[in-house]
Amino acid sequence: MQPSSPEAPSRGALGRWVGRVAWACGVLAAIAVVAILVIVCVETVLRQFQASLMVTDEIAGYLNAAAIFLGLAWTLREGGFIRVELLYDRAMGRLKQALRWLIVLTATAFTAITLWVCIQQVIYAVDRDTRAVSIIDTPEWIPQSAMVLGLAVLLLQLVAWLVDRVRHIP
């Protein structure tokens, strides 16, 4: 699924649009990583003066989850996922094509189910006004929404890949 691979078809309008959305989410993921760095550095300096932000670990945890989920689609698009290719690399011809389809269809189904469950969790968190047991009393739907956004864009990326491949079946 790497864009530079010789078997990758030219991307259609959906693929290009999803690519821009995935890129934007990747930028947000990068910003989250930089924000983690900044707040940890600030916390480290403050501790030298016997002070603390008191919420560094909570905020860093939320930002870490956001970075992971928001970066999923871009990582997939750029071929950055770690894959166990023991069987896939040994397969040839139609078997390799069938395995590729099976892997992507399975990933699409898994992502769709996970997205649905996460959406249900966000709805529950909003309805019940659940909050983190912490100093800042964070509404749980806020960090959970980053997960939903990341999974939705990953699902779009997988669907765009499927659409592009279906368009180019010989």
| pLDDT category of residue 1 using cuts at 50, 70 and 90 | very low
* Overall average pLDDT of the 21-47 stretch: 97
Tokens 């800042």 locate to 136
Q: How far is CA 73 from CA 39, 46, 129, in A?
A: 26, 36, 29
167 pLDDT above the threshold of 90:
no
User: Which amino acid, one-letter code, is at 85?
Assistant: E
- Of residues 149 and 98, more confidence is placed in 149
The per-residue pLDDT for range 7-26, each reduced to its tens digit, is: 444 578 888 999 999 999 99
Query: Can you give the residue ranges of every domain in the chain?
Result: 13-167
Closest among 85, 86, 88 to 99, alpha carbons compared? 88
Q: What is the mean pLDDT of the chain?
A: 89
pLDDT at 168: 67
